[in-house]
């Protein structure tokens, strides 16, 4: 069977091998074991501006490298080449005839005689200018994105600090009015209701401001927990009872298997984390579906499951869920409000306790968040 012809031969012309070598889209260089040029192609000469006579037998390949490149060539590339017989994709800069630096990638193979002694190094040289420019662009874009994030975080922290003072003053004034109204009994019931709604809204605002301040604390490494012995069962019972009191249209079902579960924790911060999970369970599911909370004691750990029968979380969102400001697509699509801070905070708080937080969820079926904390060693 005859070999199939290459395309140019089929088309009726033969490509000259010499031309193929000389005009290849990459540089070809053959050097003796000491680096002296033995052969170069025209592409390499065009790129670097050297004449053939300036290189062949007159210069060594490493003479065309920068200082650092020359050291790398001698201490890394040559030993690797004699060990493996080939090297690939090594980045260098070639100093051209006019002093310009040409970024390149080298692929070299070592040719040996039958006795195994190196006789020649054949090197293919690829112009990396475009790739380097592209890498520089990516780096610049990354720097710009990081700077934008810094500006955002800085602004958020400043805004939260600036909002705190007027909010405290506003709250003080509304509460004063409320006390006066109660004392003088001069306000109609309708205005008392308006006052109470104003207090609720200011409380919501200050909860948001506190969350933003907590985020800045985490970023500056200032979020700390004060660990003390506490009974997680008692804490969760209290949190659930208080939360239930504010829920009119659904049940929070608590299953607390162990009578008590001692851990070392910061009660205030843990309350913040668990309240957040409870709030999410009710925020992302519709009444009257119940929310269930179960406490289990495992080997050396106490775990709390908080489960809902709500919108669930898309699988693609799970890896990002605990990142700050992240919100899953289904929550956004259904226009359910939120800042994407709660789970980030919960994760940080649980981490500071040496615990873990995980989620199992199916879309339109519901989600279960599980927090595990190390049990306190027996006294």
Where along the sequence are the contacts to ligand ADP (CB under 6 A)?
276, 280-281, 284, 308, 310-313, 321, 326-328, 331, 338-344, 367
Q: How far is the CB of 340 from ligand ADP (least distance, A)?
A: 4
Closest residue to ligand ADP using C-beta atoms: 338
Q: How far is the CB of 273 from ligand ADP (least distance, A)?
A: 10
Nearest by Cα to 95 from 62, 122, 73: 62
Q: How far is the CB of 362 from ligand ADP (least distance, A)?
A: 10
Q: How far is the CB of 4 from ligand ADP (least distance, A)?
A: 58
Q: How far is the CB of 339 from ligand ADP (least distance, A)?
A: 5
Q: Which is nearer to ligand ADP, 106 or 331 (CB)?
A: 331
Q: Which is nearer to ligand ADP, 157 or 309 (CB)?
A: 309
Q: Which is nearer to ligand ADP, 290 or 338 (CB)?
A: 338
Q: Which is nearer to ligand ADP, 272 or 301 (CB)?
A: 272
Q: How far is the CB of 369 from ligand ADP (least distance, A)?
A: 7
Q: Which is nearer to ligand ADP, 22 or 271 (CB)?
A: 271
Q: What is the C-alpha to C-alpha distance for residues 14 and 302, in angstroms, rounded to an integer?
A: 78
Q: How far is the CB of 326 from ligand ADP (least distance, A)?
A: 6
Q: Which is nearer to ligand ADP, 265 or 310 (CB)?
A: 310
Q: What is the C-alpha to C-alpha distance for residues 317 and 328, in angstroms, rounded to an integer?
A: 6
Q: Which is nearer to ligand ADP, 123 or 348 (CB)?
A: 348
């Amino acid at each position: 069977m005859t070999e199939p012809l290459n395309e140019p031969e089929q088309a009726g012309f033969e490509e000259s091998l010499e031309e193929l070598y000389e005009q290849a889209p990459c540089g070809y260089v053959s050097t003796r074991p000491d680096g002296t040029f033995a052969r170069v192609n025209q592409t390499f000469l065009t790129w670097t501006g050297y004449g053939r006579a300036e290189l062949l037998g007159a210069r060594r390949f490493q003479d065309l490298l920068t200082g650092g490149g020359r050291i790398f060539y001698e201490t890394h590339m040559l030993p690797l080449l004699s060990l493996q017989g080939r090297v690939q994709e090594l980045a260098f800069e070639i100093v051209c005839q006019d002093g310009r630096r040409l970024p390149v990638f080298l692929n070299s193979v070592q040719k040996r005689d039958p006795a195994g002694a190196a006789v020649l190094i054949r090197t293919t040289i690829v112009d990396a200018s475009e790739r380097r420019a592209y890498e520089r662009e990516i780096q610049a874009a990354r720097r710009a994105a990081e700077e934008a994030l810094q500006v955002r975080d800085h602004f958020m922290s400043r805004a939260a600090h600036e909002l705190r003072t007027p909010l405290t003053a506003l709250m003080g004034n509304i509460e004063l009015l409320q006390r006066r109204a109660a004392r003088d009994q001069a306000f109609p019931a309708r205005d008392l209701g308006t006052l109470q709604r104003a207090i609720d809204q200011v409380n919501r605002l200050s909860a948001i401001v506190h969350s933003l301040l907590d985020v800045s604390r985490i970023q500056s490494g200032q979020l700390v927990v004060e660990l003390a012995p506490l009974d997680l069962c008692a804490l969760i019972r209290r949190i659930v009872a208080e939360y239930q009191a504010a829920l009119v249209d659904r049940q929070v079902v608590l299953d607390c298997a162990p009578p008590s579960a001692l851990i070392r924790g910061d009660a205030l911060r843990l309350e913040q984390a668990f309240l957040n999970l409870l709030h999410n369970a009710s925020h992302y599911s519709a009444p009257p579906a119940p929310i269930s909370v179960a406490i289990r004691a495992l080997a050396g750990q106490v775990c709390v499951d908080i489960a809902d029968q709500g919108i669930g979380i898309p699988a693609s969102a799970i890896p990002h869920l605990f990142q700050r400001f992240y919100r899953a697509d289904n929550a956004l699509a259904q226009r359910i409000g939120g800042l994407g801070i709660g789970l980030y905070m919960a994760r940080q708080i649980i981490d500071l306790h040496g615990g873990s937080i995980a989620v199992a969820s199916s879309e339109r079926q519901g989600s279960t968040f599980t927090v595990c904390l190390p049990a306190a060693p027996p006294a």
